[in-house]
Structure 1
Amino acid sequence: MMCADMVEVRWRDRSGKERGAIAILEDISVSGACLQMELPIPLGVEIQWDAPQQQFQGHVRYCVYREIGYFVGVEFDPSFKWSKKAFQPKHFLDPQTLVKEPRP
């Protein structure tokens, strides 16, 4: 699901220092999310952010630089599953709603 919400993320760097930054939640699914950030996050680092009804936690699986910033892929912990009922981003688009159903 595509979205564009701002979230405040937290993680610990390799030295154990707590870090934080603002990120744009680009997309989200049951198993993970993609964040756009101004700085890179090391692979494997545990990362967290909060929403009104849900706390998100996972591990960084990729971090790539594109023209407008770093895109950070987060795989949610196995015990966590995102649900639209618990948290739906304010700026949210389900691409399936754009597909026309075949005519009978």
Structure 2
Amino acid sequence: MLKKFYNYLAIPEASGKKIGLFRTLATIFGGLIVAYLGMTLVAFLLPMKVSQSGIISIMFNTFAWACTATWIALSYTKLSALLKVLIPTVIFSISLYVLY
């Protein structure tokens, strides 16, 4: 069953003209999660007060979301789209946990 699910995710879609529901949802919500976690990490890493760095990260959040969403949407397979969401999410979450 797991191998069948892996093959379902790893095989590219037959038509390259449509993006598909899975990649659309991964693009919207995964891009949002990765962008917010990345901007929160930027707010912690900038050598300013948290209020000032928070304003900077809020201003750049929409740009980061757009870039991340485009990066995820251009995935060749569903598995690569899923990995492009999960790996940065885990890395940013662990980094925020260590810094907090």
Normalising by structure 2, report the TM-score.
0.23
Higher strand share: 1
Question: Who wins on radius of gyration, i.e. which is larger?
Answer: 2
Which of the pair has the greater relative contact order for Cα pairs under 8 Å at 6+ separation? 2
